[in-house]
Structure 1
Amino acid sequence: MEPLATTFCPLESTEYSRNESLNETTLSSKYDYSYMSICLVICLLGLIGNGFLIWFLIFCIKRKPFTIYILHLAIADFMVLLCSSIIQLINIIHSQDIPQLAYPVVFMISGYNTGLHLLTAISVERCLSVLYPIWYQCRRPKHQSAVACALLWALSVLVSGLENFFCILKEKPRFPECRYVYIFSCTLTFLVFVPLMVFSNLVLFIQVCCNVKPRQPAKLYVIIMVTVILFLVFAMPMKVLLIIGYYSNSSDHTVWEPLPYLNLLSVINCSINPIVYFVVGSLRRKKSRKSLREALQKVFEEKAVVGSRETVAHFSLPS
């Protein structure tokens, strides 16, 4: 991020004007470096959290449909945080935009889109397990989670690759190809994935609130709803701003002013998921304090209560 230059109107004293301009530019530079430092610290903390989560899901727990999705979601968040860390380090060292920044952006956008796709798939699967539990258990393909993750990664790479090839990596975006790519991306995001995600979580929310059995809601449902809400609040505004900025007047740069703050929110969203899993796994444990590993095991190995409607679609489904 290049420090913003500031211009001033002529004052009575030229020397005073120079000093004011220098002070203002220095403050702006300090502000930019403060933002980049904060963003870098959050990225590093998020990398540690998601790295531990990836290690835990691979080596410390049995593979299940839900954990396969969470593993790929953690990998996507890790990719976003790693690319964002590289971008912030390059900006801090060089203090100016350089061409190499375009390549981390390619992978960051791909990880961002994959996170959106995976959250939608998680929400839709759990919604089906609630609405049609017997059908979902009997007809669900054995390797559906792995196949779905592979297809969603391929779709994300395809969309991100088209965006970057036609609109970002070129010095001048290619028209009309760039416009068609953005229309396709916006259609997928706002007419397919986001509506499916919201509708599925509304169904889960109704299921949790209207459950007639006197028991606490399954931690799985709580995790899905909280994660989706955080994504919509923290990550989606940046996608909306990118679309608004693309269709706005190219000479109006004020539309990009909120971008650093929205990027920081997106970084926070990628870093906070392991904390959500730990907090939910730590709920209602009054007798003793357990470790992070034990809290995650409590979440990902949780089973439905015997006799409840969800019993036929609990976590022991074939992966």
Structure 2
Amino acid sequence: MVLAELDVIRPLLVCPRCRAGLEADPAGTGTGAGAGAGAGAGALRCSAPDCAYHASPAFPDVAGAPVLVDFEHSVVCREAVAALASPAHVHRGADALPTPLRRIAKPPNQVAAVNIDLLLRALPGPAPTLLVVGGATVGNGVEAVYRDTRVRVIGFDIVTSPATQFVADAHRIPLRTSSVDAVLVQAVLEHVLDPAQVVAEIHRVLRDDGLVYAETPFLQQVHAGAHDFTRFTASGHRYLFRRFEELAAGPVAGPGTQMLWSVDHLVRGLTRSALAGRATRAALFWLRGLDHLVPPDFAQDDASAVYFLGRRRDREMTEEEIIAYYRGAQGSS
């Protein structure tokens, strides 16, 4: 896995409250041991004397990673910082199944793989910077991002992980404006309180003509418990990224996959067992093949999840344009 060293990306980091630069907090100490990507970084503080995060304690260090969170405006609270290193906070889904069933229950995401290839090919220069929002686990189908030695990968989440360099809240990304060339946000926007604010932050940190790739659920049951808030139709997802030019968009998976989700959760409800639901999903894996028999316009209305690959722009999509954008099978009558 190729991640940019924390020392390399340190000049890009800013205070999540006022966006001033950061400096070492002379009174700060770490809150946990660990050998993560940012090991030994130490506590940081805002460099602006009039900012609330200039005074100690400012931004702590946990498991070797700085926690760059505006605690007064986040679901992450200062009192629970030490727990951010706990793997129990990371949603693992099909990974909880026995090994032989994992690939059946969670096959490779070919849609993501194709779009990530397009994104990587479009990145400019010899050392482009790609930000992974919610990157505590490596997403399905996006592994090429971490294998490309040309790309400087920056990852963050609200927990620590070997795949991230710091902890942050996506509503206030602690990076300088126009500091990255691309953003990957896969299966994350359903877990944030204000997706529009997160997308606005993505737009802010991207350079002109920067790229974004997003995947977000449409017809899926609740996952990640209390940290699951929102779903998007294809049109709703497109309007969420209305300040981006569309390069590609569509279903990640169709109604066959959506049915697997429903059967899984029906069995969970009947048996009171998540494992039984996942095992049933694995046994009925062939339903996923029905996705290929559904025409694209019907799949647009019945997708399990949708994707968007776009390029940053300043012009915003109008209300008239989003109504005309609809590509589903339902007529206007």
Structure showing greater Rg: 1
Q: Same fold (TM over 0.5)?
A: no
TM-score normalized by the length of structure 1: 0.26
Q: TM-score, normalised by structure 2?
A: 0.26
The higher-RCO structure (CA 8 Å, 6+ apart) is 1
Kindly indicate which of the two structures has a greater share of residues assigned to helix. 1
